[in-house]
Amino acid sequence: MNSDPIADYLTRLRNAIKANHRVVEIPSSNIKKEITKVLYDKGYIQSYKFDDSGVQGTIKVALKYNPSTKQSAIVKLERISKPGLRKYTGHDNLPRVLNGLGISILSTSKGVMTEKEARDQNIGGEVLCYVY
């Protein structure tokens, strides 16, 4: 049993990037599916596939690399809110990552979204992670 499934998800992505894997398989959950959709919409991963066969199901993520330099589109994944110390923020002071070059992923009352989308909708939430 894993006490922090989001940190496990980010660590699996991080390890696959360091090993230059093209595809990584991750155990599935609803929050992980939503984070994957956000990463795909913002262009950090090439594609994804949800496989719901079996008890838990899996998420297959195709990582995105620059063809000429072989560098990943994701430079850093950083977990912010942890089970032992949750980090919440209001709509008035949403975090900016690298002065707007990166994204922070939030879990809000209207679903998982980036800080830019939350700023547009004037809602706050739990800051899950930073991606850049």
pLDDT per residue as tens, the chain (132 positions): 679 999 999 999 999 999 999 999 999 999 999 999 999 999 999 999 999 988 899 999 999 999 999 999 999 999 999 999 999 999 999 999 999 999 999 999 999 999 999 999 999 999 999 999
Fold of 5-63: Ribosomal Protein S8; Chain: A, domain 1 (3.30.1370)
pLDDT, residue 1, reads 67
What sign has the CA pseudo-torsion 98, 87, 108, 34?
A: positive
Please give the pLDDT value at position 54. 84
Q: Roughly how many angstroms between the first and final C-alpha of the chain, as a whole number? A: 29
- Grouping H, G, I as helix, E, B as strand and the rest as coil, residue 5 is helix
What does the domain layout of the chain look like in residue ranges?
5-63, 77-131
CATH architecture of 77-131: 2-Layer Sandwich (3.30)
| Exposed / middle / buried, residue 83 (Cβ in 10 Å: 0-12, 13-18, 19+) | exposed
